[in-house]
Structure 1
Amino acid sequence: MKKKHSSFSNFIYYTFVILFGFVMVYPILWMIMSSLKPETEIFGNASSLIPSQLLFENYARGWEGFGRTGFDLYFRNSMIVTSLVVIGTVLSASIVAYGFARLKFRFKPILFACLMATVMLPVQITLIPQYILFHNLGWVNTFIPLILPAFLGGQPFFIFLLIQFIRGIPRELDEAAIIDGCSTFGIFTRIILPLLKPALVTVVIFAFMWTWDDFLAPLIYLNNANLHTVTLGLRNFMDADSGTNWGPLLAMSSLSLLPQLILFAFFQKYLVQGIATTGLK
């Protein structure tokens, strides 16, 4: 009887998980399947996932882009910006987090309080001062305003995440390295950084997703169509006068998910390990 009760409980649990997962995935499935539908069928028969015919023309039209600007250019721009932002975020956030977690220096409590305050600060508050600064430097309509902040400190959220992770690493490892003649920078590169791999993978995934999906910053700083990212390229399919090309829009939206899905699938085990563990077994 106990075994039957356990089997029934597992059946109820997995049924609920599968149904809940389908509800969560349904919008993505609808977008992918609708990208293969004719224009009139997308909202005319929106409740049906199965298209009456597979129309791959939407992908061809969407990939052509607008004028002489193909959608491959938008993907290239997004990949350049996102890759550099991820690299800058990992480098700056790990170094700053190591300083707060391990080093002793003047005004450390005050600076840490400022760091925590910026976590709660909306990005819109600093948008105007940053724009004025980059405009005076002549960097508007370039990738520099999108990339440079990542190398100069990164996201406070990532710094705080790494600080908490480093604090879980025993200080005895640092002391043993000092006895062996290791410098402060050597402790960071040889001891702390290798143990940070699960947390750094978490930072990479979130930094990639947030930068790839960012619409506001490219909209503010990029005016040249040849510099537009994927998010701005998708926006170009929507026109208040001529209407929205839903077929190509949904097709390119589906393609824009591929880099994130591939990255998440490849680093999934490290993501779970970075969230669920303290970095040491």
Structure 2
Amino acid sequence: MRNKLKWPVYHILIGGLAIVMLYPILWMIMSSFKESRLVFATARQLIPDPWVWGNYSQGWEGIAGYSFGVFIKNSLVIVIIATIGAVLSSSLVAFGFARNKFVGHGLWFGIMMMTLMLPADVVLVPQYVIYTKLGWLDSIRPIVVPQFFGVPFFIFLMLQFIRTIPQELDEAATIDGCGKFRLYYNIILPLIRPSMATAAIFSFYWRWEDLLGPVLYLNSPAKYTVSMGLKMFLDSESVSNWGPMFAMSVISLVPVMIIFFIFQKQIVEGISTSGLKG
């Protein structure tokens, strides 16, 4: 009797929790069909009355003469370049720490780990000064170039994954004439694909939703990202255009949801897998 009641109760609890977690997204979708003046005036009313379908076309027209498609394109360019740089550089650094002993190995590894605990706000001013002197303002370089020097969290993730790979594979490859880079490219990279996929997905999410970086370094509307485009619908001095903003917020979630549903298996495998399967 107890086992028969266990599954219904379990599914009711999980279903209720799922509804609670998904309600903000559902509210945002419904709000994208409301008039801007009614979004918060009827916040407790989930179903729009009346339905305003024009929010999507109005929002897609964008701001300052640039359509929202321009902002999506800019975000995709930044996300793709930054993700490629972050994943490749982090995997190379992780391989160096995991498979090579060099002078100051422990010191540099400790410094790398300390950066994980360093708040990002601490380095904002020094970074801004450096990029200003380099003449990088109003370009995507301050956002994407640092990603080509490794991301500490990704380095640590891949390092732990590489350590589960038996070093006998390295020794066998070395006997066959593999150098360090060929060992990294032909042996290690294929075996750490789950962790690389996980890093790529996280990098995609972080860069896609990033607002602070673009706000600091991008000044031209033609270079604005999705997050900045959404911010432009808000006006602190007059009436904010809530309806089109929520409509474009829904559109901006589409790439994120597609990436999640396609690669959710890799996310779980990259975080949970330890050792080689045999």
TM-score range, shorter chain: over 0.9
Residue 73 of structure 1: which of 70, 73, 97 is its match? 70
Distance 1:231 1:107 in 2: 41
Deviations 1:189-225 (A, max 9, x none): 1111111111111101110101111111111111111
TM-score, length-normalised on structure 1?
A: 0.95
1:167 to 2:163 alignment: yes
Return the offset for 1:41. 3.2
Distance 1:262 1:7 in 2: 36
1:12 to 2:9 alignment: yes
Aligned twin of 1:232 = 228
Deviations 1:141-162 (A, max 9, x none): 1111111000122x21111111
Aligned twin of 2:40 = 43
Distance 2:30 2:41 in 1: 14
Q: Secondary structure of the equivalent of 1:243?
A: coil
Q: Is the 8 A contact 2:64 2:221 kept in 1?
A: no
Aligned twin of 1:181 = 177
Paired AA for residue 9 in structure 1: K
Aligned twin of 1:29 = 26
Paired AA for residue 14 in structure 2: V
Return the offset for 1:226. 0.9
Deviations 1:235-279 (A, max 9, x none): 101111122111011001111111111011111111111111125
Paired AA for residue 75 in structure 1: I
Identity %: 47
Q: Is the 8 A contact 1:141 1:221 kept in 2?
A: yes
Aligned twin of 2:202 = 206
Distance 1:275 1:134 in 2: 34
1:219 to 2:215 alignment: yes
Unaligned 5+ segments in structure 2 are: none
Q: Is the 8 A contact 1:97 1:163 kept in 2?
A: yes
Aligned residues: 277
Distance 1:56 1:175 in 2: 64
1:244 to 2:216 alignment: no
Aligned twin of 1:151 = 148
TM-score, length-normalised on structure 2?
A: 0.96
Return the offset for 1:53. 3.9
Distance 1:27 1:279 in 2: 39
Q: Secondary structure of the equivalent of 1:45?
A: coil
Q: Is the 8 A contact 1:198 1:279 kept in 2?
A: no
Q: Is the 8 A contact 1:169 1:278 kept in 2?
A: no
Residue 106 of structure 2: which of 106, 109, 133 is its match? 109
Distance 2:25 2:35 in 1: 18
Distance 2:14 2:138 in 1: 46
Q: Secondary structure of the equivalent of 1:206?
A: helix
Aligned twin of 2:95 = 98
Residue 84 of structure 1: which of 81, 84, 89 is its match? 81
> What aligned pairs does 1:187-198 form with structure 2 within 5 A after superposition?
187-198=183-194
Return the offset for 1:171. 1.1
Paired AA for residue 272 in structure 2: A
1:270 to 2:251 alignment: no
Q: Is the 8 A contact 1:196 1:279 kept in 2?
A: no
Distance 2:77 2:228 in 1: 15
Q: Secondary structure of the equivalent of 2:39?
A: helix
Distance 2:156 2:40 in 1: 44
Distance 1:69 1:214 in 2: 20
Q: Is the 8 A contact 1:90 1:204 kept in 2?
A: yes
Q: Secondary structure of the equivalent of 1:231?
A: helix
Return the offset for 1:179. 2.1
